[in-house]
Chain A
């Protein structure tokens, strides 16, 4: 048989750098030190630093197995019961916008997939618009908008001086943006900083967004996980919806139901009228079909079973409160360790005021490198640590490492 001639067609393909977030886990796995600690990716760990599947999820899966359901294709928009449960959870089941049929919900591939579908929609129907993203934001946001060819710019968010929110900067930048921009907001537990606007600040943000006819675009990856309460964590979204604004919401069950690997979430668009929601939904479907045809069933059925059954729903809420509670405990212990050990008088209280899985330590790149190189503590290079990967036993070690990196490295 004649052999194919030619050098490789892919000779010129360069080696891509590892993902800044997901690459951390790879590096962690390769480390042989006993002291190593993975504070990279935002995946919840138990106090024993083990991954865990929620009891209610195990229950749902056993139930699904017993029922012996089929594995037929879902419709492009996903599992209907899942979509309904998701909109209800996000907005409140008795929200008038749901009753009025103004919500377009499509099951999508977790938060990333939801953001990507929305980005593709923006590129097609709002080709002149840009997305405003917080500085800093989740590392993958920029990649998503870049690949979808949607231009973006940043609004001020994190103030390193106060280790808090630069609210004036945020408002000014959103106000200065061209009318009709999409404003990407973290619904709760801002990633990577853990710093959220107060309810009053949310109101002011809604004022400005409304005034400039911007489109609010929420990324909700931690509903229930931030404060422990599903409703409280959705209050920012509901505030905007209550104002009668049209809103995009990308939503994920990765953390709050621990369904990381099942890729389950939804893109929701709250529209001004039901016929608008129908049209928007139809076009989102047209974008999903050439991407993956229809979404995966397994995670959707788990969610529908858990949310649809009052007993399981109650159990879920309890497990979620426990997870959020463990993180609050760890924050307290870390804060206590830092204040006790650090003689410099630096104010570490931001550890307590930040919310959610992450803490923005304020460590810079060389300092973060020191955390890894000297102390075998793995984190992202923007200074973000995942408290979900920390336990009480390791707080003192971590405190030592942070103090050393902060004071002795520049």
Chain B
């Protein structure tokens, strides 16, 4: 039978189960708060969050490949586009854009407008 072509981020996002964005934001906030209480050092907390993100990522990639049906990317540029356009859309429902490529094409920025988690962040002003 004919292989299924890659699906768009929107199509996948609407077809899978979702949780409330508020729940997600507040849960994440609670995790960060707890880590800060436990570890106290911002550096340590960031390291821990990075490790958690990595562990989540290695499980997420299979779901991404299974649901989107994309094939191997040819180069890093394509990988970045795939993450920004399909990945973020599929898992978080946000659109991201890729920019600021360096000369080698090895480094770029992924810009997110309206990131749900940031809605609840308050920064203190130092007087």
Q: Do they bind each other?
A: no
List chain B positions with a Cβ less than 8 A from chain A.
none
